[in-house]
Structure 1
């Protein structure tokens, strides 16, 4: 019987392929490599048999983005050096015991606040405890400081030579996922408009809308990481534009999420008022359901437009968004006329019907391309102005370079 070869484990390949762009996986691999290199360099440059302070410092310095490495690296190195010096002083006088451990932690936290290492004060105590625990390995404070500097230099050079990835794609996926969750909620609300809806069901939609706040916070964290990955990154030419496009897009979706929560509140109040009856007459309910369907699709088209990098794809996404908004506007007028007829026959709930239309109008206004273009230009001007005020010399150099390029272009 011929021997058959087993195929490669697809699950392992799929796992690696699906996670190689995950920030956690990338950061884990990068930190491991930097710490290993720092330990090898410390073995070569120092006289210590086990220079563990070097990989410790490299682990603390290497961050998920180049910007965070450069901005926090100095404070992290400062915190580790201070902790090493404190532990070295204690190791000359006392050994490791419960009272010396408590005393070194207290001293490290106090000195950490004095040297202003900000959020890295606990790392002063952590470094001191680790060094005090291996006090027999290193004999002098200078050896430990040398290990710290080796780890810091390796960590900084590692992120400079091996630039971390740009996390715009991850942030874009988070924005699109948020828009799809909002779409599903809108479709669920629309399906219940022309049927008897209990207060419990409407309240469940309201709680789901409130949970969008947590989703927005998660997307905001992913976007902040993407913004940091664009700063000081030699791979990126239009970092400011990319940051502003994504940030304004998330701001728009956040406003829509707030309006969606208010809309769910309106539906809950209407369910309380209507009792066991349908929320709307059947024809009006169908019209509002179609309107919410177009609004839901417009949210996803907007998110795709915001996160699309290629110009051709962006133009297609913009056309889809314009088509969805146009269809929503047409359905809005039809639904408004039907709701008006229902209010004239039964004027008791007119304020809730009006609130529903006002909330839908607000979402459509936020998604309008002209409104977005104006908002984008305002944010670009504000960001450029703040950057000029923060770095005036750099702005002057850029102005001279662009002026010379313009002169050369005109002369040609």
Structure 2
């Protein structure tokens, strides 16, 4: 890979994030120039640059990390300057000690790096006095606070829609996987087609992991967000649906693998297999209805659907899945596969109907 290509991200930072960062830096510098007499408030500008994050919660954490690192670094540099002066070897000593102290205290990477940088900047920026050190700490606090306020006031992003759509897609693709099993049992697929079906079913695990990551990002964006409370009901519901889908993904993958490993040319002729295919098709219909229910839930919390209006009507529909099948005499050739599929159907039914408590 071209090393230069590593300098570029696969996606752009939202332009609103760029605007918020610029506003925070300018506001922090101007405020420090009004409150603190002295050189250009570098610490305030750096704090504003680092603290503006995609969510308010992340900004708050970054502000704490940045402030803690600056306080430790400035105090360490001031103490060694008063004792040993400001020669090159003193600067190097402070940097090394800052690294060791950060390691000993188990500081986060942001705080650990900031201890060394702050100590080095204090010792190399000019004459170090207690007042100078106090001003640098105050600068950092002002920069962090300004960045946090700007991030809160300029339309904090709510990342609920990408997560909501990811849940709907996962439910839809899980329904397709069940429908694929039903079609394969009905048409009598060979080993190669079942292998392809298994590859697609296994891909659902990675998709489920990405969906969970989207939900975590959405929850992060709602933390400390003034608009967060209105969206948490939908997010909690999506979390619960994703947990149900985790079980369904495991089941459909296991069913597909069992059929792949035990399929035979005469499997379709078994009447019990036909009944299982019907049940699996009904499972697919129920999961597809779940996907439609998620998609129909509007993200505007003031709407009746988002508050349980249209969604409540859909959820009251009777599931297509019937009662578990009863097999009086198992097939002597395929009874292992049939038994495994029947157990999977039973467990999926319990998951869909909420009977596994």
Bucket of the pairwise TM-score, normalised by the shorter protein: 0.7 to 0.9
User: Aligned match of 2:291 in 279, 300, 317?
Assistant: 300
User: Which runs of structure 2 are paired with 1:45-84 in the superposition (5 Å)?
Assistant: 45-47=35-37, 49-70=39-60, 73-84=63-74
User: Which runs of structure 2 are paired with 1:280-299 in the superposition (5 Å)?
Assistant: 280-281=268-269, 284=274, 287=278, 290-299=281-290
Name the counterpart of 1:248: 240
User: Which runs of structure 2 are paired with 1:146-157 in the superposition (5 Å)?
Assistant: 146-157=138-149
Q: Does 1:356 align with 2:346?
A: no
User: Which runs of structure 2 are paired with 1:96-245 in the superposition (5 Å)?
Assistant: 104=94, 106-115=96-105, 117=107, 120-126=108-114, 128-129=116-117, 132=120, 136-137=124-125, 139-140=127-128, 141-162=133-154, 164-237=156-229, 241-245=233-237
User: What's the offset of the Cα at 1:175?
Assistant: 1.4
User: What's the offset of the Cα at 1:54?
Assistant: 1.6
Instruction: Name the SS for the 1:194 alignment partner.
Output: helix
| Contact 2:255–2:341 (8 Å) recurs in 1 | yes
Query: Whole-Å Cα distance in 2 between the matches of residues 355 and 295 of structure 1?
Result: 21
Name the counterpart of 1:393: none
What TM-score do you get using the length of structure 1 for normalisation? Answer: 0.65
Instruction: Name the SS for the 1:132 alignment partner.
Output: helix
User: Aligned match of 1:327 in 312, 316, 320?
Assistant: 320
Greater Cα shift, 304-313 or 185-194: 304-313
Query: Whole-Å Cα distance in 1 between the matches of residues 346 and 33 of structure 2?
Result: 67
Unpaired segments ≥5 residues, structure 2: 1-10
User: What's the offset of the Cα at 1:243?
Assistant: 4.6
Instruction: Name the SS for the 1:192 alignment partner.
Output: helix
Q: Does 1:31 align with 2:21?
A: yes
Query: Whole-Å Cα distance in 2 between the matches of residues 105 and 136 of structure 1?
Result: 12
Query: Whole-Å Cα distance in 2 between the matches of residues 200 and 32 of structure 1?
Result: 57
Query: Whole-Å Cα distance in 1 between the matches of residues 66 and 266 of structure 2?
Result: 62
User: What's the offset of the Cα at 1:49?
Assistant: 4.6
Deviations 1:115-151 (A, max 9, x none): 564xx24533245237636865454333432321221
User: What's the offset of the Cα at 1:174?
Assistant: 2.1
Q: CA RMSD in A?
A: 4.0
Unpaired segments ≥5 residues, structure 1: 1-18, 376-412
Structure possessing the higher relative contact order (Cα contacts under 8 Å, 6 or more residues apart): 2
What TM-score do you get using the length of structure 2 for normalisation? Answer: 0.74
User: What's the offset of the Cα at 1:155?
Assistant: 1.9
Query: Whole-Å Cα distance in 2 between the matches of residues 221 and 25 of structure 1?
Result: 23
Name the counterpart of 2:5: none
